[in-house]
Structure 1
Amino acid sequence: MIELEIQTLSETREGLLIDVGGIVVATGFTLLRQRLAQDPHGALLTMVVRGPSRKQRALEDALDAHERIISFEISPFVQGETRPHFAASRKFAHPPVAPRPVAVEPDMPTEAAPATAAPTAAAIAAPVDVFAIPSVVATRQEPLVEAAPLHVSEPELDFILPHPPAPAPTHMEPEPFIEPFVEIVPSGPDEPAVEAALPKLLGRYPQVFPTLLTLEKTVDATAREQSLWLAGQRLGRWIFNRDYAALGKLDLHEAIERIGTPALGALVEIEHRGEQLHIRQSPLCTEDGHPGCQFFNGYLGGLLGPAVTAEAISVFTLCCRSCGADECVVAVSD
Structure 2
Amino acid sequence: MAEVELKIVSDHRDGLLIALGEVLVANRFLLLRHRRMNTDAGVLMSLVVQGPEANLLSLEEQLGTHWMVKSLEAGPYDPNATAPLTPPPAPVASASLPPASAPSVPAQTQAVASAGNGGADKKRIEALLPQVARDYPQIFGAVMGLERNMEPTQREASMRYVGARVGAWVYKRDFALGARLPLSDSIKHIALPAMRQLLPTELEGETLSTGSSPFCGMERSTAPQCHFLRGFLEGSLNECGYLGMVRVSEVACRANGSDSCKFVFHV
Deviation at 1:301, TM superposition (A): 0.7
Q: Is the 8 A contact 2:200 2:211 kept in 1?
A: yes
State the secondary structure of the residue aligned to 1:318. strand
For residue 283 of structure 1, what is the aligned residue in structure 2? 214
Mapped partners of 1:289, 1:283: distance in 2: 13
Return 5+ residue gaps in structure 1 as ranges.
1-184
Mapped partners of 1:192, 1:301: distance in 2: 21
Of 204, 226, 249, the residue aligned with 2:180 is: 249
Query: Is 1:305–2:238 an aligned residue pair?
Result: yes
Deviation at 1:308, TM superposition (A): 6.6
Aligned runs of 1:137-286 on 2, under 5 Å? 186-286=117-217
Calculate the TM-score normalised by the size of structure 1.
0.43
Q: Is the 8 A contact 2:237 2:243 kept in 1?
A: no
For residue 71 of structure 2, what is the aligned residue in structure 1? none
Q: Is the 8 A contact 1:248 1:307 kept in 2?
A: no
| Cα separation, partners in 2 of 1:295 and 1:205, compared to 1, 3 Å | same
Mapped partners of 1:212, 1:262: distance in 2: 20
Q: Is the 8 A contact 2:246 2:266 kept in 1?
A: yes
Q: Is the 8 A contact 2:220 2:257 kept in 1?
A: no
Mapped partners of 1:306, 1:199: distance in 2: 19
Mapped partners of 1:298, 1:248: distance in 2: 23
State the secondary structure of the residue aligned to 2:251. strand
Q: Is the 8 A contact 2:120 2:161 kept in 1?
A: yes
Larger Rg computed on CA atoms: 1
State the secondary structure of the residue aligned to 2:262. strand
Deviation at 1:307, TM superposition (A): 3.3
Deviation at 1:323, TM superposition (A): 1.6
Mapped partners of 2:260, 2:242: distance in 1: 30
| 1:15-55 deviation line (CA, Å, top 9, x unaligned) | xxxxxxxxxxxxxxxxxxxxxxxxxxxxxxxxxxxxxxxxx
Query: Is 1:314–2:262 an aligned residue pair?
Result: no
For residue 294 of structure 1, what is the aligned residue in structure 2? 227
| 1:276-321 deviation line (CA, Å, top 9, x unaligned) | 1001121111241664311111111111113374322221110111
Q: Is the 8 A contact 1:187 1:226 kept in 2?
A: yes
For residue 42 of structure 1, what is the aligned residue in structure 2? none
Residue 317 of structure 1 aligns with an amino acid whose one-letter code is: E
Mapped partners of 2:216, 2:203: distance in 1: 19
| 1:152-180 deviation line (CA, Å, top 9, x unaligned) | xxxxxxxxxxxxxxxxxxxxxxxxxxxxx
State the secondary structure of the residue aligned to 2:175. helix
Q: Is the 8 A contact 2:217 2:255 kept in 1?
A: yes
| 1:245-279 deviation line (CA, Å, top 9, x unaligned) | 11142101111111111110110111111211001
Query: What is the alpha-carbon root mean square deviation over aligned residues?
Result: 1.7
Residue 252 of structure 1 aligns with an amino acid whose one-letter code is: L
For residue 324 of structure 1, what is the aligned residue in structure 2? 257
| Cα separation, partners in 2 of 1:302 and 1:240, compared to 1, 3 Å | same
Mapped partners of 2:126, 2:195: distance in 1: 22
Q: Which has the higher helix share?
A: 2
Deviation at 1:324, TM superposition (A): 1.7
Return 5+ residue gaps in structure 2 as ranges.
1-115
Residue 249 of structure 2 aligns with an amino acid whose one-letter code is: F
Residue 313 of structure 1 aligns with an amino acid whose one-letter code is: V
Residue 283 of structure 1 aligns with an amino acid whose one-letter code is: P
Calculate the TM-score normalised by the size of structure 2.
0.53
Query: Percent identity, aligned pairs only?
Result: 33
Mapped partners of 2:122, 2:253: distance in 1: 25
Mapped partners of 1:279, 1:195: distance in 2: 28
Residue 304 of structure 1 aligns with an amino acid whose one-letter code is: L
| Cα separation, partners in 2 of 1:292 and 1:201, compared to 1, 3 Å | farther
Mapped partners of 1:215, 1:245: distance in 2: 28
| Cα separation, partners in 2 of 1:215 and 1:289, compared to 1, 3 Å | farther
